[in-house]
Structure 1
């Protein structure tokens, strides 16, 4: 899987970094948790502070576009993000417990 940053913006008002990524992959479309983990590792940030807001691909292409938000702290993330977005980004083990 190849990740490339297409846009990087710092939002000081909301204490987060907003980024657009282009992801090229082989085989099936990668899961949100896999993309989230790769982005956290690539940028050397804690996984808990990375939110993949949107992922979209076109039929027949081995590429997708992702919109990602990286927060400075967890409290601010929980204040701003909708609950359904946080549930989408929860680890699979956490989602099963709820």
Structure 2
């Protein structure tokens, strides 16, 4: 996976950093979790403060275009972000086997 940051802008009003990126990959499309982990490690930020918004792939091209927002603190993230986007970023609960 190779990331290319196409836009990096600081939004002081909402206490966040807004990114647009292009990700090139081999094989199948990477999961949201692996994209978050790699992007957080690359930008040296906390993974819990990073929210992925839009991911688009094109047919036949091993390339993904997306947007991410990195918040300064958890309170700003929870007050600004939509609930369904926050749920997408959480790990799935493990089901109990009988």
TM-score when normalising by structure 2: 0.93
Distance 2:38 2:10 in 1: 20
Residue 39 of structure 1 corresponds to 39
Larger Rg: 2
Residue 93 of structure 2 corresponds to 96
Distance 2:55 2:79 in 1: 22
Distance 2:46 2:65 in 1: 22
Total equivalences in the alignment: 94
Structure 2: runs of 5+ lacking an equivalent: none
Residue 71 of structure 2 corresponds to 71
1:8-48 CA distance string (max 9 Å, x none): 11000000000001100000000111111101000000000
**Structure 1 stretches (4+) deviating beyond 3 angstroms?**
none
TM-score when normalising by structure 1: 0.93
